[in-house]
Amino acid sequence: QKEVEQNSGPLSVPEGAIASLNCTYSDRGSQSFFWYRQYSGKSPELIMFIYSNGDKEDGRFTAQLNKASQYVSLLIRDSQPSDSATYLCAVGPGNNRLAFGKGNQVVVIP
Amino acid sequence: DVKVTQSSRYLVKRTGEKVFLECVQDMDHENMFWYRQDPGLGLRLIYFSYDVKMKEKGDIPEGYSVSREKKERFSLILESASTNQTSMYLCASSPGTMETQYFGPGTRLLVL
């Protein structure tokens, strides 16, 4: 069964620090990788997508993909209280659907 | 901007009622999806559709059916609502198989 794992518990970071989130996936044939942010009571919204090995930066966010090790990570630099949310990792295995992880809660402490 | 709308934000129904949840997207996307999200269980795929009148079962299709008569509209039907179907229901659409899914605002359904 194709799985996406986000194993870390809630992550508390001081304002201004770097938050680091990790995600591993089981399907070696996966081709597309996404990070979504979900505020409490709201629907997920896309932060970033990445298709190729390496880093992709967008503002304070950096996604890192390592297909050989089957992990994708998200770094949030200069964390702000507005970054407090649950972050969902999603992986595209190529059968018309994405597989989602259960999410990691991030709490930014002012 | 992609816009995905859902017919209701909050819905209260009684056990045994037939429930219709509607989703409309305005970006001519091929694929549409219905998920439910429950604490500790994450997003679970109920059904998806990759073309008009086409549907495929997701991970938890039991107790649900879907309809896609027009490209922009994807409906989720609870034939006989039960209390264990109390959940947040999220609709999403995407332009292609490997591409970003855009979510609607969600419908929080309470079945009494």
| Cβ neighbours, 10 Å, residue B25 | 23
pLDDT of residue B53: 86
Mean pLDDT of chain B: 94
pLDDT tens readout for residues A54-83: 999 999 999 999 999 999 999 999 999 999
Q: Can you tell me the distance from the alpha carbon of B71 to that of B69, in angstroms, rounded to the nearest whole number?
A: 7
Mean pLDDT of chain A: 92
Residue whose tokens read 């659907």: A97
Report CB contact under 8 Å: A49, B56: no
Q: Name the amino acid, one letter, at B53.
A: K
Buried/exposed code over A32-52 (b: 16+ C-beta within 10 A; e: otherwise)? bbbbbbbeeeebbebbbbbee
Report CB contact under 8 Å: A45, B103: yes
> What's the average model confidence in pLDDT over B4-26?
96
Q: Can you tell me the distance from the alpha carbon of B21 to that of B87, in angstroms, rounded to the nearest whole number?
A: 12
pLDDT band at B40 (very low <50, low <70, confident <90, very high): confident
pLDDT band at B24 (very low <50, low <70, confident <90, very high): very high
Q: Can you tell me the distance from the alpha carbon of B60 to that of B63, in angstroms, rounded to the nearest whole number?
A: 9
Q: Exposed, middle or buried by CB within 10 Å (0-12, 13-18, 19+), for B18?
A: exposed
Taking the Cβ of residue A45 and every Cβ of chain B, the question of whether any pair is shorter than 8 Å is answered with: yes
Taking the Cβ of residue B105 and every Cβ of chain A, the question of whether any pair is shorter than 8 Å is answered with: yes
Q: Evaluate if residue B21 carries a pLDDT over 90.
A: yes
pLDDT band at A1 (very low <50, low <70, confident <90, very high): low
A43 contacts in B (CB within 8 Å)?
A: 90, 103-106
